[in-house]
Each structure stands twice: as C-alpha cells, then as structure tokens.
Structure 1
Amino acid sequence: MRSQVLRYEDWTDPVPAAEREVVSLTEDARTDRPPLLFVPGLGHGAWAFAETWLPRAAARGFAAHALTPRPDGDLRAQVHDVVQVAASLPRQAVLVGQGAGALVVAYAMGRYPVRAAVLAAPVMDGWPTLGAALRANPFGTLPALFGGRLRLNRRQLFGPEMPAEDAQRFLERIVARPRRELVTHDPAPRPVGDPPVLVVGSPDDRVVPRTSLDRTATRYGSAPLLFPGMGHELMLDVTWADPIEAIVDWLEKELES
C-alpha cells in the first residue's frame, strides 16, 4: 500500500532539485505559535504576500514565510517544495494558499501534517474556473488554452474600489502560463490527521465561482468565510487587511482549543 506521506514516485522519479525563494519575517514571532507558510497562486511570487499579509501576520506574533513557486514547476514539484520548506521549519506549520496556491496546499496536506490550513479564494475546480475566466475575459484567456500567456485584467482580480494605477502595478508583475493539470488534476487527497481548515473568499470573485467556494468548504467540513466587494486577490485588494485579520483571529481561537 502506498503512503500519502512518502510516495513510490518520489523514489523512482524524484523531483529535480531547485533553489527556493522564501521571504521570511520572524523577529517578533512568539515561541508558542506555529509558523505560517504562505503559498501564492498562478503567476505570483512571494511578493504577493510580502507587502501586506506577511507583515500583518508577523505583527500578530507569527513567524511568517512566503514561498515563490519554482519557474515552470508542475503541481507535483510545487507540492514537493511546499512540503520540504514546511518540514524545514522549527515547528509544525500552518499553510496558507491563495488561488492555485490553495490547490498546492490541499495536495501538500496529504503528505505533511499541518497544524492548520487556510485556502483563500481557492482554485480547486478547474472547469468552473476556466468557464468563469472565459466569460469574464475571453481574449485574455483563449491564448492560455494553446500554451500562451494568461492575461488577466483588473475587473477579474480586484474589487471596484481598487485604484487603476495600483491594479496595473500588480498586473504587470503577474506572469501566468497555466498548465493543463490545473483543469485535469485528480481530487486532492484527504489531509494527514484531522487539521482545522478555513476557506475564505469573496462572493464577488470573478475567478472562483461561489459554488466552488461552497463545495471546497463543504469538503473540509465548514462554510466559507466571505468578504463581499473584494476580488480574487484578497491579499492585494484595497481591503486586504480584513481577510488576514480574520484568518489570524481564527488561528488564535484554534490554537486555544
């Protein structure tokens, strides 16, 4: 029987070694709290958390780390990197994934015993997400179906209050080339143990349909925590502080239980 933690494929076809970019804020970390590892979504790097959620979590007493996915890494390689970085931390970690990074976290939970996990605007259901992208931005999405770059727009990712110049600054940093496996992947494995899992999102997200949010939350035995008026980029939108404060509040309650 194969183990979800140590798989046969890891011995016969190991993931190639790669340098990993990890941004960390640990100076104010409390020793009684687990470290947080943030995993960004498609086309993003650690920078997506470095301006907002990372320092806010650190200010609340958590050692906060953000991992940049390896360039052109497939889902298996990204899961491998998350598990390796999490295992290198001094204490059992909390994984926080956004967008496609939430899918990576969901797979990683099948191999690494997380203290808890947060799936933010999770891209877990490939076909509904692809349909939403085609409806919201057909000309930016179609090239990606044939190996080209996915060109996202302000309306897809941000709420209406987002200043155009700020949205453009972030859009210029997102270089997304989706892999077919984001649509065709198998369901994520069940987590090792029974960790608490929080699903957060927005009913106004134009990337992840509300039905997908509900389905993901139900899978992990809860209901989604919603932030109306926000877009898909919960950590970059105007009211970015609301989700991370709610996430940290939830973590503090879970750690006390």
Structure 2
Amino acid sequence: MSRTRIIRTRDWASPVPPVHREVRSATPETDEGKPPVLFVPGYGHGAWTFAEHWLEHSASRGFAAHAVSLRGHGGSGAAPKATLRAYVHDVVQVAASLPRQAVLVGHGAGALVVTHALARYPARAGVLVAPVLGGWGTLGGALRRNLAGTLPAVFGGRLRLNRRQLFSRELPVATAADYTARLGRATARAQWQLLAHRDPEPPVGNPPLLVLGSPDDRIVSASALTRAAARYAAAPLLFPGMGHDLMLDARWREPIDAILDWLDKDAPTP
C-alpha cells in the first residue's frame, strides 16, 4: 500500500516563488462530463507545442484540453533559477484550478515533472509521452546521440536539439525547422536535475498510467521506453516511424487518438 506525505516541511518553510503561468485551452462544444486533460511540455518546449494540434483535437472528442508552459518557457514568466520542484509546483497548481479531477500528460522531461506531480495531485490518470525520466543513463544516451548538443548542457549551457532528433522525415523540412527554431531552454539547474534527482514518490490514489513513444525516437531509446513502462507494470505503446515530438510530427493524430481511446476505456466518466 502506497503512502502519501501529508506534511512537506520544505513547502511552507521555503515556498516556490509565484510566477505568471501561461495556459492554453480548448473546450468541447458539449460538456460530456469527461475529465479535463492537462498537457505538460518538456524542457525547452512551451504550451504552443500542444496548441498546434492536440488541444483542439482533444476538444473535438469531448475532452476539455489545457497545456501549461512551465515557468521560463513559452508565455510564462521568467524564472532563471527555476528547479524541478518549481516546475512540479506549476503543474500541480494548474491542475488544482481545473473544475474536475484532471488527467496529467507529460512529454519528454515534462513526463518527469508529471511523475513528481502525481505524488502531490490525485489525478484521474497519468500519461508519459516519450518520457525522459532522468538518471545517469539518460546522459550516456544523450551524449551518444547528440554529443555537440548535449555536452554544453552538462556544464550549464543550453541543450541544443536538432530537427532530425525531434521529427520524422515525413514532416516537411520547413515546418520542422520552424518548430525547432521556436524552442527555448530550461534552467541549468533543472537540466542538471534530470541527472541527479530523487525518485518520485508513489502516485496519489494509484491512478492508471500509460507510457507511449516511438522506437525510432532519437532522444529516448526503445529500451528506455520499456524501462519507463516497467516502472508502472505496463508495456509501452509504440508508434514506429515517428520522432520525439509526437504531438508535432506528421502523424500526430495517431498518438493522441490512442491516448484518448485509452482514457475513454481506463479513465471513464464516473
């Protein structure tokens, strides 16, 4: 039986500073009583990555959909010293403001944020998309796949990702280049915490969890996907031929439809 910490001394002794949080939303024409979905982008990404396709598509299927930009990302307030803890705080605060118990969907390093948020917020369900869950194995894989772009981040610089890592060849080059140019960066401390951080506490309420990604992802290996799913006693749902940014790639409908189908089945309206 999992245990939930009721009192976290650090939260009241050293509260996370407030900041403006950008939230983009799309709502269905008719309220079908389905749980709202909160999308959490990875480091360097903002809410816009979900606003391109997934928000409106989710709303068309009856789910109120929201995407938050973590502090220092997208249209959220600047936070040059933000930590993983601050990012988790942003997600929990937005989720708690929604009118119904929400589903948390994290992409990339946003999946790591979601795993920690699930220990603080009783989500209806959790979804980890192409999850970057950290640890020293993450660094080794990143260095092998993108030495020039990863090495500066180890020493506090910017993690640089290129379009070939993020997208499949099916996405037009001009579109991929535009998306890549819009990426920002996480703080040096938050980047470092991808490697050295405490394991998340167990999710509150034991919500159902789904892990999905692509075996052709050039950031998250197929074995890393399998390990991530094994943490939650599941097998990953795979989308061959897609890149890391599944929500922006050419076949973006396939993973979001799979997520929403799963929610209809495993997190039905009470």
Instruction: Name the TM-score, length of structure 1 as normaliser.
Output: 0.95
Q: Deviations over 1:57-104 (max 9, x none)?
A: 011011100000001421101111111111111110000000000010
- Corresponding residue for 1:52? 53
Instruction: Tell which deviates more after alignment, 98-107 or 135-144.
Output: 135-144
Consecutive unaligned residues in structure 1, runs of 5 or more: none
Aligned to 2:203: 191
Instruction: Determine if the alignment matches structure 1 residue 241 to structure 2 residue 250.
Output: no
Fraction of identical pairs, as percent = 60
Give 3-state SS (helix, strand or coil) of 2:267's partner: helix
| Among candidates 74, 77, 84, match of residue 83 of structure 2 | 74
Q: Which moved more, 1:112-121 or 1:25-34?
A: 25-34
Match 1:250 to one of 249, 255, 262: 262
Corresponding position of 1:96 = 105
Contact 2:108–2:132 (8 Å) recurs in 1: yes
Matches within 5 A, 1:30-179: 30-71=31-72, 72=80, 73-177=82-186, 178=188, 179=191
Q: What is the Cα deviation at residue 160 of structure 1?
A: 2.3
Structure-1 separation of matches of 2:55 and 2:268: 22
Q: 2-side partners of 1:237 and 1:97: how far apart? A: 16
Aligned to 1:200: 212
Count of residue correspondences? 256
Aligned to 1:4: 5
Q: SS state of the match for residue 180, structure 1?
A: helix
Q: Deviation at 1:127?
A: 2.3
Residue of structure 2 in register with 1:218 after alignment: 230
Aligned-partner Cα distance in 1 for 2:28–2:58 = 12
- What amino acid is aligned across from residue 35 of structure 1 in structure 2? P
Structural RMSD (CA): 1.6
| Contact 1:28–1:63, Cα closer than 8 Å, also in 2 | no
The CA deviation string for residues 144-181 of structure 1, in whole angstroms up to 9 with x for no partner, is 11111111112211112222111110110112245210
Deviation at 1:132, TM superposition (A): 2.3
Contact 2:101 2:123 in 1 (8 A): yes
The CA deviation at 1:27 is: 4.4
Of stretches 169-178 and 9-18 in structure 1, the one that deviates more from structure 2 is 169-178
Answer whether contact 2:27 2:59 (CA < 8 A) is retained. Answer: yes
Q: Distance in 2 between matches of 1:205 and 1:175?
A: 20
Does the aligned pair in 2 maintain the 1:24–1:64 contact within 8 Å? yes
Runs of at least 4 residues of structure 1 off by over 6 A?
A: none
Contact in 1 for aligned 2:125/2:267 (Cα 8 Å): no
- Give the SS at the match of 2:243: coil
Write the distance in 1 (CA, Å) between the matches of 2:168 and 2:13: 46
Residue identity matched to 1:39: V
- The answer to whether the 8 Å contact 1:40/1:98 transfers is yes
Q: How high is the TM-score relative to the length of structure 2?
A: 0.90
